[in-house]
Structure 1
Amino acid sequence: MDSTPREGPLARLSGALALAGGGLVVALAIVVTGSVLKRWATNEGLNGDFELVQTGLALAVFAFLPYCQARRGNIMVDTFTGRLPLPVQRAIDGVWDVVFAGVAGLVAWRLALGAMDAFSSNTTSMVLALPIGYAIAACAAMAGLLTVICIATAFDRFRSPR
C-alpha cells in the first residue's frame, strides 16, 4: 500500500476529515440562516448562535488543513524559484514543509495545553454553557495530524519528482 500523503491512509483520513468539516460548515450555514430568519420574524436570533459558529468554524478550518497539505493545495509563491531546476525546487518545498511541520507542531502543543487548562477549569461558553475543552482538544488533534502530514509531504518532496 502506498503511504504517500496523496494516496495512502493519511490521504484517506484527511479526506474524511475534510468532508466532515464541509458538513459542519453546511450545518453552520443552516444555523446562521435560521438565526437571521428568526431575527427577521421576531427581532430575536437563536440563542448562542455566535458561539456555535465560532467554535464550528474553528473545527472546520482545522479539519481542512491536513487535506490541503496532503493535496499540496497551499498557496505557493514561486516568483524566484520557478526557473530553478526541479530537484532544487523540490528541496526548497521540502524545507518549507519541515518548517510548516514545526509551526503546526507548536500550534498542536499549545492547543493541547489549552484544552487541558479548559478541562481542569471547567471552562464553558457564555450563553450555552458548552464545555470548550472538547473543541480545543479536537483542534489540537487535527493540528497534530497536520504536523504528521507536513512531515510526510516533506519526505515525499525530498525523494520524488512529483
Structure 2
Amino acid sequence: MPAMQPGRGGFVLFAYHLCKWWAIGGGVILFGIVAVNVVSVVGLAIWRSPIPGVYEIVQIGAAVAMFMMLPYCQITGSNVSADIFTASLRPRTITILAGIGALLGAVFGLFLIWRMGHGLKDVYVYRETTAIYQFPVWIAYVPTLLSLALFVLAAIANMVQTAQGVLPEQVDHDATA
C-alpha cells in the first residue's frame, strides 16, 4: 500500500469530507435562493405579483449558505490571504504563519460560537420571527452554529497539516492515496 500524502491523515481527511459535503449543502441552499428569485421576478413580469417575502428568504438563506461554505474555504486554504507580504519568505516560515493563522481562526470561531450561542438563546426565548412568513429566526442559527463548529474543526485540521510542514492549499484531498 502506498504511503499517504502528508497532510492527508485520517482526521484531516475526515474533516475535509465533512466540510466538503456541508459546503455542497450550502450550494444547494444558494441554488434554491436563485430559483426563488427567478420565480419571483417572472411572477412580477407575468402576473404583476412577486413572491411575497422574497427578501426574508434571501436574507436567511444567504446567511446560512455563506456560513456553510466557510469551513470548506478554511480546510482547503481558500480564505483570503495577503500573499504579497509572504511571497519573499521561506516556505517553512510561510507554513508557520499558516499554522498561526489557523490557530487564530480556531480561536475566532470559538468566540463566534460563544456569542452566536447567546444570540440563539435570545431569539429563541423572545420568539423572534420574520415579518411576513413568521419564520422563527432561531432555526437559522442552528446550521450557522454547526458551520462554525466545522470551521473550528477545519482550523484544527489545518494546524495538524502545518505541524507536518504542509500548507492546506497544497493538499489534494480528493486524490487517491
SS in 2 for 1:46: coil
Which residues in structure 2 correspond to 1:122-141 (within 5 Å)?
122-141=127-146
The alignment status of 1:55 with 2:55, answered yes or no, reads: no
Letter in 1 for 2:10: S
Q: Distance in 2 between matches of 1:2 and 1:99?
A: 22
Task: Give the Å deviation of 1:113.
Answer: 1.2
Q: Which runs of 5+ in 1 are unaligned?
A: none
- Which of the numbers 99, 119, 135 marks the counterpart of 1:114? 119
CA contact (8 A) 2:128 2:138 kept: yes
Structure with bigger RCO (C-alpha 8 Å, 6+ apart): 2
Q: Which structure 2 residue ranges, 5 or more long, are not aligned? A: 1-7, 168-177
Give, in angstroms, the shift of residue 48 of structure 1.
Answer: 1.2
1:157 aligns with 2:162: yes
> Which residue matches 2:37?
32
The alignment's TM-score, normalised by the length of structure 2, stands at: 0.84
Any residues of structure 2 matched to 1:58-137 within 5 Å, and which? 58-137=63-142
Residue-by-residue CA offset, 1:18-67 (whole Å, 9 max, x unaligned): 11111111111010001111111233211111111110011100110001
Residue 88 of structure 1: how far off its partner (Å): 1.0
Which amino acid counterpart does residue 15 of structure 2 have in structure 1?
L
Which residue identity is paired with 2:53?
G
Take 2:132 and 2:143, find their aligned partners in 1: how far apart are those partners? 21
Task: Indicate the SS of the match to 1:79.
Answer: helix
- Give the letter aligned to residue 67 of structure 1: Y
Conserved 8 A contact 1:21-1:59: yes
**TM score, norm. by length of structure 1:** 0.92
Contact in 2 for aligned 1:111/1:137 (Cα 8 Å): no
Alignment partner, residue 3 of structure 1: 10
Instruction: State the distance in 1 between where 2:9 and 2:85 align.
Output: 33
Moved over 3 A (4+): none
Q: What amino acid is aligned across from residue 3 of structure 1 in structure 2? A: G
Report percent identity of matched pairs: 23
Alpha-carbon distance in structure 2 between the residues aligned to 1:147 and 1:65: 10
CA offsets per residue over residues 112-134 of structure 1, 9 Å max, x none? 11111111111111100011101
How far did 1:160 drift? 2.2
Task: Give 3-state SS (helix, strand or coil) of 1:108's partner.
Answer: helix
Aligned residues: 160
Q: Contact 1:4 / 1:156 at 8 angstroms: preserved in 2? A: no
